[in-house]
Amino acid sequence: MRMPAPIRLRELIRTIRTARTQAEEREMIQKECAAIRSSFREEDNTYRCRNVAKLLYMHMLGYPAHFGQLECLKLIASQKFTDKRIGYLGAMLLLDERQDVHLLMTNCIKNDLNHSTQYVQGLALCTLGCMGSSEMCRDLAGEVEKLLKTSNSYLRKKAALCAVHVIRKVPELMEMFLPATKNLLSEKNHGVLHTSVVLLTEMCERSPDMLSHFRKLVPQLVRILKNLIMSGYSPEHDVSGISDPFLQVRILRLLRILGKGDDDSSEAMNDILAQVATNTETSKNVGNAILYETVLTIMDIKSESGLRVLAINILGRFLLNNDKNIRYVALTSLLKTVQTDHNAVQRHRSTIVDCLKDLDVSIKRRAMELSFALVNGNNIRGMMKELLYFLDSCDPDFKADCASGIFLAAEKYAPSKRWHIDTIMRVLTTAGSYVRDDSVPNLIQLITNSVEMHAYTVQRLYKALLDDISQQPLVQVASWCIGEYGDLLVSGQCEEEEPIQVSEDEVLDVLEGLLVSNLSTPVTRGYSLTAIMKLSTRFSSLNRIKKVVSIYGSSIDVELQQRAVEYNALFKKYDHMRPALLERMPIMEKTATNGPSETVQTNGETDSTILDTKHLPSISQPASQANDLLDLLGGNDVVPIIQTTVPTKPASAGGELLDLLGDLSLTGGPTPTPASSVPMSQPPFLLDGLTSQPLFNDIAAVIPPMTAYNKNGLIIEFTFERSNPNPNIAVITIHATNSTEADMTEFVFQAAVPKTFQLQLLSPSSNVVPAFNQGSVTQVIRVLNPQKQQLRMRIKLTYTHKGSPVQDLAEVNNFPPQSWQ
């Protein structure tokens, strides 16, 4: 019995749309699918097209249609154009290269690429160019290349984009399309021109050789662009009075790639860029789209400074445009150029800051990122005011990034310690729960190092706790500070503001309150318990503290329990060690900070200024080490243990030094080491670090300095300190000065010591020794000398002076006896 003809597509659509519920729709679909399946089983050629079309509709509604995949192939193989059209559409929608079925298409496509009707060829090219897998592309690349050379512009433009797809899937095939590109740009047809420019762009982006090869096209591209601009009205390609803006934009983009890093090409396109930048109509989006692309090109190539300023000013005008989209792209572009053209972008700072108040979320975010990039020592106060205001009022999504950015900016450019602390307080109190976890240890370190502000800081933090204990980062930092500086708090020593009157019991009330509060996280509880413990050496209410500690010895929270038990042990068996263990933290050495990755390193200032303001060299802190110490000390206490750094000097091969220095044991120079510190046969670091005074404010006066090297205007002096807990470590600071009339750049100091010693070199303050003794390069060397042998050293100096490289080796033998005995 013959089945009735399957219902037509549009009728099905109409029927399905009458369904009032999802269930009803599903029922209709299932019924129809069943009918379609049987129809497929009957191998009915007449209605296959109709059925697949219906299937595609149902697929769009979200229903499975995989059983139609093979049918699409049959349609593609059919001779009827209608069949092919639907078949190829179905293939593009239902098949993807993950299925083996799609490979069966290859032969059909190959035949259709050679079909006598260009619209069939077009279907094949389109399908191949949208979803062809690598295998298909390999098989059919030859056909595509042939069509790229045809004179039929309808096919030529499609072949060009198909070639782009082939190259994307199988980059090795790029070469074979090279000959066909020869006269692509002489075409008059805009479709071919446009797709050719896309093809050339793809090739240049992928291959530096292609890029150099195609640079010769710059004059031709410039000419085409010029004709577009100068030509009269062409209705076929006109958009709001601009002739073929799509083509203009692609040419500008290709010019950008060709001109980048190349003086000649950049010069050849200078005039046309200026012309486009000044003459393009800006009343509609299309004109601004072209200007946008032009600006991107100007900024990327080696353009004259006048042109660059023109570009930045265009962006500045964009910022004032009513159209939000224009403002958005302006901010995005300025963000890209802020590193290279910092001063020019600074001029638009106030407009950018105004964008922080924009209602559009995307614009606000861009404005925030850009604002951080523009902060520097000169504008820090004003900018911070705006950014803090923004932090108050912005969406929660922004708060974490904004807070991190503010911390980073404050750290780099704070005009005073008081200002810095106040800014941190402001962030913690307004956005305290959004602050990133790593801010807490960073802030603690900062506070520790601001010695004169301790009393002020702890007082402010204490007052903040009285107001609100819900913001965990704030609470953690506050607990830590109270634990450290609680004595300053109760003795009312604050100078910066009116000291508050608070008793030991009140302070302990607050800390104990944190322990029991539901708002406190386990980490916070840990902080407050440790803080309470620390106060045992600062307060007199010993009994109360002992009681708290013993109660938590049976806490369900394992972390708290462990701490409490250990603290209890301190009270009972190790009471003699307690004062030393809980002593005030020494100044911590600076670790690398983590800020939002887009914040610029140097906002118009050089790196060396940042380094100069920190007299302590930087040490990279292995996180695992710090965490080990966390348990007993209850905070991210940074113990100044000796480690090697990862300095920023260019790496020198340890090998070359080895050759020259023969039997001497070798360390020094930049060698990135693993995170573990140099092994010392000493009692555990823990106590070392804790009982030591800060390493660097030592008895320097006792050991006389010496001149280690004096030649060709370069003088290197050594000054000494003995490391307190460990008398076997000598800490030498080298001071390099240069009395000649030219700077010594790329200055690298390396040292080697005999086998019985161990040596560590920390990073230098800079690698330029300025002329005329205008400054010095300092670097710290630590030498371990357990056998107390006479210290001797071989040093190697390399630098560039007046353009020539200089290298010298020297022995240093005149160490004062106090430095090693």
Partner 1 sequence: MMHFLLLFSRQGKLRLQKWFLPLPERERKKIVKDMTTMVLARKPRTCNFLHWKDLKIVYKRYASLYFCCALENQDNELMALETLHRYVELLDKYFGNVCELDIIFNFEKAYFILDELLMGGEIQETSKLSIVKSIEASDMLQETMEEYMSKPAF
Q: Is 181 in the site for partner 1 (CB under 8 A)?
A: no
- The structure tokens listed for 300 are 């990327």
Tell which one of 25, 140, 194, 405 touches partner 1 (CB under 8 A): 194
Does position 69 bind partner 1 by CB under 8 A? no
Q: Which is nearer to partner 1, 362 or 800 (CB)?
A: 362
**Based on CB atoms, which residue is closest to partner 1, 60 or 519?**
60
Binding track, positions 310-339, relative to partner 1; x by CB under 8 A: --------------xxxxxx----------
Closest CA to 398 of 422, 377, 425, 371: 371
* Closest approach of partner 1 to the CB of residue 175, in Å: 20
Closer CB to partner 1, residue 136 or residue 570?
A: 136
135 contacts partner 1 (rule: CB under 8 A): no
Q: At residue 33, what is the residue type?
A: C
Distant-in-sequence, close-in-space partners of 131: CB < 8 Å, separation ≥ 6: 91, 92, 95, 96, 97, 102
Q: Applying CB under 8 A, does 616 fall inside the site for partner 1? A: no
216-246 burial, b at 16+ Cβ within 10 Å, e below that, comes to ebbeebbebbeebeeeeeeeeeeeeebbbbe
Q: For residue 139, what are the CA distances in angstroms to 106, 126, 134, 236, 785? A: 8, 16, 9, 37, 71
* Residues 6+ positions from 341 with CB-CB distance below 8 Å: 299, 308, 312
Q: How far is the CB of 304 from partner 1 (least distance, A)?
A: 24
Instruction: Confirm or reject binding of residue 87 to partner 1 (CB under 8 A).
Output: no
Q: Which stretch in 27-35, 162-170, 568-576, 802-810 sits in contact with partner 1 by CB under 8 A? A: 162-170
> Of 361 and 577, which CB lies nearer to partner 1 in the complex structure?
361
Shortest gap between Cβ of 622 and partner 1 (angstroms)? 31
Cβ atoms within 10 Å, residue 727: 12
What is the nearest approach in angstroms of partner 1 to the Cβ of residue 378?
A: 31
- Nearest distance, CB of residue 244 and partner 1, angstroms: 5
Contacting residues for 353 by C-beta, under 8 A, at least 6 apart: 367, 371, 383, 386
Q: To the nearest whole angstrom, how small is the minimum distance from the Cβ of residue 579 to partner 1?
A: 55
> Nearest distance from residue 11's CB to partner 1, in Å?
8
3-class secondary-structure state, position 380: helix
Nearest-10 Cα torsion for 164, 165, 170, 172: -10
Please choose, from the candidates 121, 129, 130, the residue with its C-alpha nearest in 3D space to the C-alpha of residue 152: 121
Write the single-letter amino acid at 536. S
- Shortest separation between residue 723's beta carbon and partner 1, angstroms: 49
Residues within window 290-309 making contact with partner 1, judged by CB under 8 A: 292-293
Interaction of residue 188 with partner 1, rule CB under 8 A: no
Stretch that binds partner 1, among 85-93, 345-353, 525-533, 618-626 (CB under 8 A): 85-93
* Residues between 692 and 731 that touch partner 1 (CB under 8 A): none
Residue 571 binds partner 1, judged by CB under 8 A: no
- Report the C-alpha gap between 319 and 328 in whole angstroms: 8
Q: Vertex 588, ends 391 and 675: CA angle to 5°?
A: 100
Distance CA 283, CA 455 (A): 60
| Min dist. Cβ of residue 389 to partner 1 (A) | 22
Contact 505, 514 (CB under 8 A): no
Q: Which residues within the stretch 538-557 sit at the binding site for partner 1 (CB under 8 A)?
A: none
Q: Indicate the length of the chain as a whole number.
A: 821
- Candidate list 2, 20, 41, 98; residue touching partner 1; CB under 8 A: 98
Q: Could you say which residues in the range 255-284 bind partner 1, by CB under 8 A?
A: none
Total chain residues near partner 1 (CB under 8 A) = 73
* H helix count then E strand count, the chain: 35, 11
- Contact call for residue 286 and partner 1 (CB under 8 A): yes
Taking CB under 8 A as the binding criterion, the range among 361-369, 415-423, 474-482, 557-565 that sits at the site for partner 1 is 361-369
Nearer to partner 1, 327 or 460 (CB): 327
**Residues 447/421, Cβ–Cβ less than 8 Å:** yes
Q: Report, in Å, the least distance between residue 86 CB and partner 1.
A: 7
Q: How far is the CB of 194 from partner 1 (least distance, A)?
A: 5
Stretch that binds partner 1, among 151-159, 689-697, 713-721, 745-753 (CB under 8 A): 151-159
Is residue 671 close enough to count as binding partner 1 by CB under 8 A? no
Site for partner 1 in 377-406 (CB under 8 A): none
Number of CB atoms found within 10 A of residue 351's CB:
19
Nearer to partner 1, 598 or 628 (CB): 598
Give whichever of 105 and 619 is closer to partner 1, judged by the CB atom.
105
Contact positions with partner 1 (CB under 8 A) in 752-791 = none
| 68 binds partner 1, rule: CB under 8 A | no
Specify the residue, 328 or 696, whose C-beta has the smaller distance to partner 1.
Answer: 328
- Print the SS3 string covering 413-442: HCCCHHHHHHHHHHHHHHHCCCCCCCHHHH
Q: 98 or 573, CB closer to partner 1?
A: 98
Minimum distance, C-beta of residue 8 to partner 1, in the bound complex (Å): 5
Q: Scanning residues 8 to 67, which ones bind partner 1 (CB under 8 A)?
A: 8-10, 13-14, 17, 47, 49-50, 53, 56-57, 60-62
Is 109 an interacting residue with respect to partner 1 (CB under 8 A)? no
Is residue 127 within 8 A of residue 72, CB to CB? The reply is no
Listed in sequence order, the residues at least 6 apart from 19 whose beta carbon sits closer than 8 Å to its beta carbon are 25, 28
Query: DSSP secondary-structure letter at 695?
Result: T
Q: Which residues 204-243 are close enough to bind partner 1 by CB under 8 A?
A: 236-237, 239
**CB of residue 391 vs partner 1: minimum separation in angstroms?**
21
Q: Nearest distance from residue 157's CB to partner 1, in Å?
A: 6
CB of 262 to partner 1, least distance (A): 19
What distance in Å separates the CA atoms of residue 467 and residue 440, rounded to the nearest whole number? 19
With CB under 8 A as the contact rule, the residue among 265, 288, 450, 621 that binds partner 1 is 288
Does 152 participate in binding partner 1 (rule CB under 8 A)? no
Contacts of 212 (CB under 8 A, 6+ apart): none
Are 724 and 698 spatial neighbours (Cβ–Cβ below 8 Å)?
Answer: yes
Q: Measured from the CB of residue 449, what is the shortest distance to partner 1 in angstroms?
A: 37
CB of 56 to partner 1, least distance (A): 7
Applying CB under 8 A, among 87, 129, 483, 486 the residue interacting with partner 1 is 129
Residue whose C-alpha is closest to residue 228's, from 214, 216, 244, 241 = 244
Asked if 147 interacts with partner 1 (CB under 8 A), we say no
The reply to whether 535 sits near partner 1 by the rule CB under 8 A is no
Judged by CB, which is closer to partner 1: 397, or 468?
A: 397
Residue 780 near residue 618 (C-beta atoms within 8 A): no
DSSP H or E segment with residue 193? helix 190-206
Q: Does 96 bind partner 1 (CB under 8 A)?
A: yes
If one asks whether residue 158 binds partner 1 (CB under 8 A), the answer comes out as yes
In the complex with partner 1, which residue's Cβ is closer, 193 or 477? 193
Query: Under 8 Å CB-to-CB from 571, ≥6 apart: which residues?
Result: 536, 546, 549, 578
Burial of 649 (0-12, 13-18, 19+ CB in 10 A): middle
Tell me, what amino acid is at 213?
H
Is there binding between residue 627 and partner 1 (CB under 8 A)? no
